[in-house]
Each structure stands twice: as C-alpha cells, then as structure tokens.
Structure 1
C-alpha cells in the first residue's frame, strides 16, 4: 500500500484540513500529464481489521500499478461523518473528484455532478442492476452510480419457533398469530418493530410495500404517504401488534434498529426484518435463524425493500476521462465481488450478482439476491427525499403510539413532504 494513500485515508483532522485548504490543488502535476484524483468513501467495517480503508488501499495500489500517470487519494470516514465531510468540502469550494456516500440527488440537482454516461464505458453502465440504475436518476438522467445494495427479509428465531411449534408466517394474520403464541411463551419481543429515529424509514417502507403502498406512487410524480393503503397498513400494525403488546417492552417509536438487532442476536426476538449483516452477527452469537420473504396481507409480499449506497463524481475539477477509467476498474467483477463478500452486501452490477447467485461461498446471500429484482428503493432521485426521510424517522413512530392516529400522523407527513417537494423543485 502506498505511503501517500496510507496517510490520506486515516481521516485525521489534519488530513481533512489539508483537503479543505487544497482548493485548486487537485490535479497538480507530478510530471507531465500526471493527475491526482480525490475520493471520499464511507467505512463499512466495524473495526480496524475490516475497515474499508484496507479495501480501497489494495484496489488503488492495483490500479496505480497499471496507471502510473494517475494517483488516487482516498479518505475513508465513518457513516456518521462521511456525508457531512463531503458537504463541507463542497461548501468550501473544494469538492472531491468522487464521493461514495449515502445520497447524490441534491448535488445532481445543483448541476455539480457528471452524468454517468459522461464517465463510464457503455458496458459498465449497462451492467448496473436495473432497479438501482433507475434509482440513480434525477429527471430521467443517471447521476448516481449504485455502489452497494441490500434487501430485507423476515428473520425468525428457529429455536423459539420450534419450542412454540410454529412455522414462519406468509401473511400478516399468521405473523400476528405467531407473535401471540411467542408472547404467551414469554418471548420478550415477539415481533420487533423498530420505528425509532435511527432507521424508521426502512421498517416503515417494508411494511408499506407489503401492504400494497409505499412512499411514492408508481409515476413518482409526488409523495403518497397518506394513501389509503398506507393508512390501513399502520392501522393494522397499531391494532393487531402494538396495542396487543406483541412488539416488546420498548415502544416502537423509541426502538432503534441497532437495539432490535442486538436483541435478536441475544435470542430475545421471535421475528424482525433484517438485512444481510444480521446473518453474521446472529451466527457469531450462536442464534439459529431462518429467513423468509416479508409476509403480505393475504400472501407473501411481492415487493421487497431495496437500499443502495452511491458513487458520484463532481464536475468542478475536471478529469472526466481519468475518473471514468478508474470507475470502470472499480466496477469490475473482481472488485465488486471482493467488496460484497467482505461486507455481506449485494453487488450493484448484474454480472457480479449472477456470479454470487451460483457460487457455494455466497449461498447465504442467495435469498437476498433473489429479492433484489423484486425490490423497490427509497425515492432517492427526489432532491426532497433527505428532508422527508428525516421527518419520517422523527414522526412515524407516533402513528402506533398509545392514542396515536395513523391517518393524522401520515397526513401530517404528507403535507410536510409536499412542501419539501415544492421547495426542492421536484
């Protein structure tokens, strides 16, 4: 690993100061025609041993070996900090050449990003999973390049189910019946419903999709948070699960995803929605679990929730040719598979997905891969989504609180979303 990369990717305050004070320094020649590219990336690891710094370091070393005229400086930050770091750099007039973060649409709406087809080869751009490529578009133009993805399945504790004589549910009614039996058996969280501020928008969306609704109509022309389907879904959750005491001792509006996952790995949860990383955590704790598609009203859900993180490239510094060539390398099957396998994530490309769906070492991820073509992502192409998502995280748990009214809460969210939409010009 090059010394220069090792220093940059520490993410220290000194390194950040150097980046912010470096306006106009990107691309300084280290010889005739030499170009330096800056990439800011999120850290998917949970320790120094598996930090994304290692992945990017090895990838950049391999690329620079065959491209001596290009240096790629990578700074890796935690998910708690990386979006704010990029925003600070952009606000300071010194955006990175590339950023791998959680949202892209506000930068695209401000005309600060390259279009994907200005950078990538036709082969690479065409290889993105279709749903993810569509989610990367603002006003029908792709700016966001999906980097990693995930879907959700219903996890259930096999030991608790066996002791209670249960089979995994396929419908909402069966889920409620199973939860009742688990509660009678003394299970702490028969169904864990994390609608707390950490990631309420994810749990809510999974339920809305299974109820035939969602955050936006198929036309994507507006938000539809208070649609009749959505109100019915939250009414069912409140009446059939929460009010009957089947969601555990912590109020759903105060239960965060991390706490729900921790309770599952401690053997205290009968059922909850989870993504691939929960598999490893549960296995490490010795919890025997199964996974099935999210139940629907009268049959298994037909649409799963998909999530993607994004790569984007800023126009200000130029270097479109060099950025495109580097990203073509980033999206090669070898590199995409290495990243996906390291962090139990789904590939953003169809070719890597095909490889993972047929190899024994990736068998654990196959159920999630099967859900990906059936998935729907957040409406990340709407520049108002970041604001609307924040409102959902803060307020939607109130819809199932004692005395709460789903129609009122969802109606208030719809009104706020409409105002955010108009302000953003979506």
Structure 2
C-alpha cells in the first residue's frame, strides 16, 4: 500500500501526498496574459479564483497573480528575465528563447505523466526545442474565413467561396453592392505573421519546409500567392480604403462587426463579437487556389516555468491543477478558444453549448502552427510585420519582399 501511495503521489496534482507540511510557505509568481476586452471579463478574475481554489487544497503554496495586457506582456517578462527577476510561471506568446538560454524547466520535470500525455500531439511537438518539450500549450485556436451572410445575400451570393476565383468574384459582387471592404487582408504590424501564414498555406506553401523544418519563405508557391493577392484582390480595389500593410487585425475585426467588411480571416472569439453586433456569420476553411487548402493555420499560446527560484515541485503541482479538464474548459469557454488536451477537446466537441466551435476544433488536429520552436522566429516575425505589406502594394514585388524576409531569416538562423 505504501508503494501504491508513493506511485500515486508522482501523478496526482493536488496536495495530500508529499505536501509541504510544516515547511516554509512558498509563493509562486505567475505572470499571465489578459484575454479579456474590459474589466468585466479580465483574465485576472479567472486566475485569482483558480489560485484561491488551489491554495485551499495545497497548504504552504501561494500564487501571486499578475495579469498583463497582450501588447506588453512579452516585453514585460523579457525585462524581468534580463534583470534576474524571472517569474516562476509565465503564460505568454513564445518560449524558445528562454529554453535555449537554459532558463526553463522542461515538461518532464514538471508535469505528471497523464497531464503531459494529454496534450494534443502537434501542440506538444510545437513546444519542443531539440526534441525536448519546454513550452506547454495553454489555449489554442484555428482560423476560418468569415463572411457576412446578409451582405452576401444582398449581393446575390448563395454559397461560400470554394476557391480563389470564387473569392475574387464574390468580392467583386460585394463591391458592386457598395460594401466598403469586400475582403479585408490585415497585414499591419499587429498580426501580419498570422495573416500571411493563412494565405501561404492556402497557396500550398508556408514558412518552413515540411521535410526538415528549414525556412522556405521565398518559395515559388509563396511568391505566387502574394502576386495573386496584389494583382487580383488589392489591384482590383477589393480590399477596402486602407492598404493591407496599414490595416491591423483589431481594426479589421471592428469593421467586420460594424457590417463594413464582407469577408476576412477570423478566430473563434470574433463569433461572439459579431453576434453581439447582430452580424450573421458564415464560416469556412480558407480555400486554396483550386479548392481545399492543404491545411489551416493553428495558433497556440504557451505556459513556461523558470528555474530561477528553484520551485520546481510547487510549480509542477500547480500546473497539473491548471491542466485538469474542468479548468481547461472553463478558460477556453470564457473566451471562445480551443482546449489543448485530448480529453477536454473531446468533451467540448460533444457539448452542444459549444456547437459553434466545432468547425474550429475539427481544423485543429491538422492545422499548421507558426514555427514557435525556432529561436530565430521572433526576429523573422518582426521582419514579416515590417515588410510583408509592401508585397501587395501597387507596383510591389512579392519576390523582392519575400526574398528580403528570407535573408533576415537566414541571418537569424546563422546567429543561433
């Protein structure tokens, strides 16, 4: 029986086995991103409630919650790390730079076997550096092509586009009906790297070579994709009054919920905002040039644990609790995001209350994620944000712009 209890202690998340007992209290510092849009739905409420529940079951461990806005959190954590004041746990957008600097615990050192094995496989793989998992996925999402059903109906359109010819023809029909922005292509600095990957995948390309994972940014497929966007959409006046390189995602989303945009690529939380605004939404996978695209884009945000304060056991216990199904589903449900574990995904799929997320859930297992595991990715992402909009400007050259980004990627890789 003693052996059985000892075995259970290695896999259970809650206190009661090998707890801190009379040891000095440990306070874990958690820095997490805010997914809310106002004080009423701030993520701070979720984390503080979760921390209180955990603390009540784990005497001797306290959780200090610090929720930061997405615009600053990556820089905030980087500054703390540089100053020798790393938090115990950070829930942010990227992990690889800290893993390669030797500052993180790996998942094997933290999580119980059931918790770690429950992550969706492609998310676990995306969390690895040199085949070791340091980034633990926290929430995920995929992207679909959203369209305004009322605007489509007014333009005499009865079906969602099935290929790129359809996208162009539908956008032209919307323009003829006076729609301000028939199709929005936000390539501004906010999330140009995401919008770009969506179109590259639809065109049969992507950022990396599927065989060896090396960058393949200026491939002919990618060049052809952006030549088409420049010539057939932007050049035909179908992308609205703001140049794609100047258009941020948040601005495009707001215009969609205001009824000014016919089509755009969107993530799950846009459904809720559109519904509140009375917009009837249709959603399909962004089609490829001749039909179905090879895959959709997936996105994950990451949990990581820093070694600096030597709180490995306490961090592991808390993270096992974070990844219990109830907690995973509660957070995902709050913000119309997708759970990152098999068991929670299956439960959400079966729940009719989340029926509107099923298309996104179906797309996740075969989606392609941004190259999070590359330490060079932050540099490459910055280059995409600064340059990609020029590829679709009048007189622009996709070959030249993608070549410039590819050279930046090569330089960043060489500096590894």
Q: Secondary structure at the match of 1:81?
A: helix
Asked if residue 396 in structure 1 is aligned to residue 391 in structure 2, the reply is no
Structure 2 residue aligned with 1:193: 185
Deviations 1:152-187 (A, max 9, x none): 000000001111121110101111111111111111
2: distance between equivalents of 1:46 and 1:249?
26
Which segments of structure 1 move beyond 4 Å, counting only runs of 4 or more? none
Render the CA deviation track for 1:251-283: whole Å, top value 9, x for unaligned. 111111111111111111111000011111111
Q: Alignment partner for residue 115 of structure 1, among 83, 106, 115?
A: 106
Where in structure 2 are the equivalents of 1:186-335 lying within 5 Å? 186-335=178-327
User: Counterpart of 1:42?
Assistant: 33
Deviation at 1:87, TM superposition (A): 1.3
Equivalenced residue count is 396
Provide, for residues 2-46 of structure 1, a one-character-per-residue CA deviation record: whole Å limited to 9, x for no partner. Answer: xxxxxxxxxxxxxxxxxxxxxxxxxxx996342221111111111
Could you say what secondary structure the match of 1:317 adopts?
A: coil
Asked if structure 1 preserves the Cα contact closer than 8 Å seen for 2:192 and 2:388, the reply is yes
The within-5 A match list for 1:141-180 is: 141-166=132-157, 167-180=159-172
Counterpart residue number, 2:64 = 73
1:349 aligned onto 2:341: yes
TM-score, L = length of structure 1: 0.91
Give the whole-Å Cα distance in 2 for the aligned partners of 1:181 and 1:320.
59
User: Is the 1:222–1:418 Cα contact (8 Å) retained in structure 2?
Assistant: no
| Aligned pair partner of 1:97 in 78, 83, 88 | 88
8 Å Cα contact 1:41/1:77 also seen in 2: yes
What CA RMSD, in Å, does the superposition of the two structures yield over aligned residues?
1.2
The CA distance in 1 between the partners of 2:23 and 2:128, in whole Å, is 37
Structure 1 unaligned segments of length 5 or more: list them.
Answer: 1-28
Report Cα offsets for 1:184-221 as digits up to 9, x if no partner: 11111111111111111111100000111001111344
Unaligned runs of 5+ residues in structure 2 are 1-19
Per-residue deviation, residues 309-342 of structure 1 (Å, max 9, x unmatched): 1000011211211111110000000000000000
Cross-structure match for 1:3: none
Shifted more, 141-150 versus 211-220: the winner is: 211-220
